[in-house]
Amino acid sequence: MNYSIIVTFFNEEKNIHQLNDELKNVIEKLSTNNSLKFEIIYIDDGSMDDTFNELSKCKNNKFKTKIIRHKQNLSQSSALFTGIHYSKFENLIFLDGDCQNDPSDIENMVNIFEKGFDMVVGWRKNRKDSFFSKTLPSKIANFFVRFFTKSKIHDQGCSLKVLKKELIDYHITWGDFHRLLTARLSNSNLKIEEVVVNHRPRSQGKSNYNFSRIFRVLLDLIYINFLKIGNRPIIYFFGNFGLLSFFGSFISFIFMIYLRTFKFIDFDQTPMPILVVFLFLMGLLFLFIGLLAQLIINQSSREDYIEKSIKEIIEN
Give the pLDDT confidence of 120-146 residue by residue, as tens digits: 999 999 998 888 778 888 888 888 888
Asked whether residue 136 falls in the same domain as residue 13, the answer is yes
Flag whether pLDDT at 93 surpasses 80.
yes
Flag whether pLDDT at 10 surpasses 80.
yes
pLDDT band at 228 (very low <50, low <70, confident <90, very high): very low
Q: What is the mean pLDDT of the chain?
A: 86
Calculate helix-pair angle for 272-297, 234-262, nearest 10 degrees: 170
For the stretch 25-64, pLDDT in tens is: 999 999 887 789 999 999 999 999 999 999 999 999 999 9
For the stretch 194-205, pLDDT in tens is: 999 999 998 886
Residue numbers of the domain that contains 280: 234-297
- The answer to the question of residue 39 being in a domain is yes
Q: Which of 171, 172, 182 is nearest to 117 (CA)?
A: 182
Q: What is the pLDDT, as a whole number, of residue 224?
A: 62
Percent of the chain with pLDDT over 70: 84
Asked whether residue 155 falls in the same domain as residue 254, the answer is no
Instruction: For the chain, give the longest Cα–Cα distance.
Output: 79
Asked whether residue 179 falls in the same domain as residue 268, the answer is no
- The answer to the question of residue 308 being in a domain is no
Q: What is the pLDDT, as a whole number, of residue 230?
A: 41
pLDDT band at 164 (very low <50, low <70, confident <90, very high): very high
Q: What is the pLDDT, as a whole number, of residue 286?
A: 87
Decide if 171 contacts 229 (C-beta within 8 A).
yes
The number of distinct structural domains making up the chain is 2
Q: What is the pLDDT, as a whole number, of residue 95?
A: 95
Which of 193, 209, 225 is the last residue before a domain boundary? Answer: 209
d(CA 58, CA 189): 39
Q: What is the pLDDT, as a whole number, of residue 231?
A: 41
Residues contacting 143, CB < 8 A, separation 6+: none
Asked whether residue 31 falls in the same domain as residue 153, the answer is yes
d(CA 97, CA 193): 23
Flag whether pLDDT at 298 surpasses 90.
no
d(CA 117, CA 191): 5
Coil/strand/helix, residue 6: strand
d(CA 195, CA 260): 52
Asked whether residue 239 falls in the same domain as residue 195, the answer is no
Asked whether residue 148 falls in the same domain as residue 283, the answer is no
Q: What is the pLDDT, as a whole number, of residue 91?
A: 97
In 12-131, where does DSSP find H-type helix? 16-34, 51-56, 76-86, 105-113
Flag whether pLDDT at 304 surpasses 80.
no
For the stretch 229-287, pLDDT in tens is: 444 456 666 777 888 899 999 999 999 999 989 988 888 888 999 999 999 999 999 88
Q: How far is CA 141 from the centre of its chain?
A: 12
Q: What is the pLDDT, as a whole number, of residue 157?
A: 87
CATH code at 105? 3.90.550.10
d(CA 83, CA 102): 20
d(CA 162, CA 118): 8
Asked whether residue 110 falls in the same domain as residue 186, the answer is yes
Asked whether residue 192 falls in the same domain as residue 279, the answer is no
pTM of the model: 0.77
Q: What is the pLDDT, as a whole number, of residue 28?
A: 93
